[in-house]
Chain A
Amino acid sequence: MTVAIDRATGKRRGDRAPRPGLGQRLKNGYQKHWYAYAMIVPVAVVLGVLVIYPLVYGLYLTLTDANSLNTARTIGVNHIDATYKFIGLDNYKDILFGPTSYDRFWSHFIWTIVWTAVCVALHYCIGLGLALLLDQKLRGRTFYRLILILPWAVPTFVTVFGWRFMLADSGIVNTALDALHLPTPLWLEDTFWQRFAAIMVNTWCGVPFMMVTLLGGLQSIDSTLYEAAEMDGANAWQRFRYVTLPGLRSVSATVVLLGIIWTFNQFAVIFLLFGNTAPDAQILVTWAYFLGFGQQPRDFAQSAAYGILLLAILIVFTSFYRRWLNRNEQQFAI
């Protein structure tokens, strides 16, 4: 094996048939794989410095009572040393079970779950509906497609402001509703309507991605399957149910997972739509940001603890999702 670049080499290492001594193994490993390591070094350094180290440091901060008044800082020429102290798991205890923990954590938690579920369901259903329409032979199909991906093409931080103008007290939406003699809710002030508006804007932003990926999935379904189904007398609904949906399964599994992760972590829409004015409409991500950076004094420790809790929720969810897919024998490679 002069050429070490193939999978066989690696697999042979895994066999562990005659196991040489540790020194020999290290030497062999080094000789065979030194350039693999050399190529991974940059990213390992980047990940170590930019992800692992901050993560560990963040974990440490959650075990302290750090805020902007007791961390090290420099005011003018005076440097003030950090005075925060280690308090163990008190932050987590306080967030999850402390007094008013319902208002501070659980209400946001429930709203985040609702937000994620509703948004992803709307993204998926509308996206699939539009993809099905665009998958037909239709005049002006490319034109529709180009217009429909516009919400994805324009940066979110731009479009959210467009929505903000539209939803303002006497903006175009309420003017139109008024002209139709419908009630005109205070979109950006009333809690329920804030949440409604946030879901609406996020749906608007997220549908194009789903539409385009599902359209790709639809076009990769073998058309002979449809012909066969038609020969067997399947009607349109049956063709959709027994050919289209199974054909989309692996794409769906991927985009739904991505959608859930992205929506759960969606920061820009809620932050830009309401700023710090709507405590009840904040999902956990924006709420954690508010605790750490939107108020005075900045509560770094609690904010970091929220971050760790969020990550834990996502990891648990993803592993269940994968297990559930595996049980249903889905092709899902992530």
Chain B
Amino acid sequence: MTTTTVETSAAVTGTGAAGTARKPRARGERGLAGSLASHGILIVASIVALFPVAWLVFLSLGPDKDDYLHPGGIWKKMTLDNYSFVLQHTNFFDWLKSSLIVSLGTTVLGVLVAATTGYAVSRMRFPGYRKFMWVLLVTQMFPVAVLMVPMYQILADLELIDSYVGLILVYCSTAVPYCAWLLKGYFDTIPFEIDEAGRVDGLTPFGTFARLILPLAKPGLAVAAFYSFITAFGEVAFASTFMLSDDKYTFAVGLQSFISEHDAQRNLMAATAVLIAIPVSAFFYLVQKNLVAGLTAGGTKG
């Protein structure tokens, strides 16, 4: 991958060299050589990006757990047996259920709580405002290691270890501050005159929020929801520690359980990985444009 960067700068200069020789042209046009170089680099980069995932898909078709060592053999005995085995004889659907409960729980709870907060900090300057924003900011950079041990102790005291509620609460501790921050940025873009008009027409502050601002903020809410969902779905550390019984594993934990010290069912693991990756990536592709816009807006506008 390092070679890619080196070539990149070469391509940029190539662009200019080819360009200066030509008549007036729009920005972004370039000569044949530049074009070929750009395509070449992008094709190489695409292959690098695609290959590990494609390889996983390919390996998932091999019936034997050691097929990854001699992949050439897979062509001859390609089969979907792994998939049917995973779907029928493993806890796949239990894991799916846990993952969905935990991710959706985090999303709903996190966005609800974060929306009220984001609105409050966006519209009102109350005493303690700056400190509060600072707390929201610092919370975002907590390494997992900071909260892991105390959370474990507290949840153990409350007997919430190995329960969905416990994990949802833990995820909310990271999702809520981030979403509040992001939604504050979004609410800031909705004109205050709308609130005022609502108040003049006799809505309560909560009425203004629920009936005017929330519907207008739908795109922002959607971004916050996607973000919470995706982070909760992909989280590894807390899930590995707090979920103990194997029918409550989320996918991130369940996938690890295929490789134990004694046995590594790599073919089944690859098949499960593919089954997880397809819907999640599809979802991601649907929302990615909004996600990117929201992330940068939350980051730069504050």
**A residues with CB within 8 A of B:** 2-7, 9-11, 13-14, 29, 33, 35-40, 42-44, 46-47, 50-55, 57-58, 61, 71-73, 122, 125-126, 129-130, 132-138, 140, 144, 146-159, 161-163, 165-166, 168, 170-172, 200, 203-204, 208, 212-213, 216-217, 223, 226-227, 235-237, 239-240, 250-251, 254-255, 258, 261, 264-265, 267-268, 271-272, 284-285, 288-289, 292-293, 300, 303-304, 306-308, 310-311, 314-315, 318, 331-334
Contact = CB atoms under 8 A, between A and B. Distances in A.
Contacts of B9: 129
Nearest to B258: A161
Interface in B222-240: 233-234, 236-237, 240
Nearest to B198: A5
B148 A144 contact: no
Given A5-B124, A289-B144, A308-B146, A162 B113 contact: no
B38 A138 contact: yes
B56 A155 contact: no
B11 interface: yes
Given A5-B208, A39-B120, A288-B145, A236 B285 contact: no
The prevalent SS among residues of A at the interface is helix
Interface string B249-292: 00110011000000000100110010011001100110010001
Given A14-B125, A304-B149, A311-B146, 19 more contacts: A6-B192, A39-B116, A42-B116, A43-B114, A51-B139, A52-B135, A54-B154, A57-B150, A129-B4, A146-B285, A153-B288, A208-B49, A213-B296, A264-B143, A268-B236, A284-B143, A315-B141, A318-B141, A334-B300
Nearest to B8: A129
Contacts of A333: 300-302
Contacts of A3: 195-196, 199-200
A146 B39 CA distance: 15
A303 to B, nearest CB: 5
A55 B150 contact: yes
Given A51-B139, A133-B38, A267 B49 contact: no
B77 interface: no
B246 interface: no
B52 interface: yes
B170 interface: yes
A7 B125 contact: yes
B53 A50 contact: no
B143 A285 contact: yes
Contacts of A13: 125, 127
A292 B127 contact: no
Nearest to B300: A254
Nearest to A250: B300
B272 to A, nearest CB: 9
A163 to B, nearest CB: 6
B148 A293 contact: yes
A240 B143 contact: no
Contacts of B75: none
Contacts of A14: 125
A148 B149 contact: no
Contacts of B138: 315
B217 interface: no
Interface residues of B, number: 120
Contact of A159 (B52, B120, B127): B52
A3 B146 CA distance: 42
A278 to B, nearest CB: 15
20 contacts: A10-B124, A44-B132, A51-B173, A130-B8, A133-B8, A138-B38, A144-B46, A148-B49, A150-B281, A153-B281, A157-B252, A161-B56, A162-B56, A208-B49, A235-B20, A236-B13, A237-B12, A261-B140, A303-B148, A333-B301
B73 interface: no
B216 interface: no
Q: Is the interface of B mostly helix, strand, loop or mixed?
A: helix
Contact of A223 (B27, B135, B233, B269): B27
A285 B176 contact: no
A274 to B, nearest CB: 12
A156 B68 CA distance: 20
Nearest to B115: A39
B49 A147 contact: yes
A236 B19 contact: yes
Contact of A33 (B17, B124, B139): B124
Given A144-B46, A158-B255, A293-B148, A165 B281 contact: no
B52 A166 contact: yes
Contacts of B148: 288-289, 292-293, 303, 307
A158 B269 CA distance: 9
B26 to A, nearest CB: 8
Given A40-B121, A150-B281, A310-B146, A50 B273 contact: no
A216 B154 contact: no
6 nearest CB pairs, A to B: A10-B125, A236-B16, A129-B8, A333-B302, A288-B145, A50-B173
Contact of A47 (B139, B209, B269): B139
Nearest to A152: B284
Contact of B177 (A47, A158, A227, A304): A47
B245 interface: no
A260 to B, nearest CB: 9
B301 to A, nearest CB: 6
Nearest to B255: A157
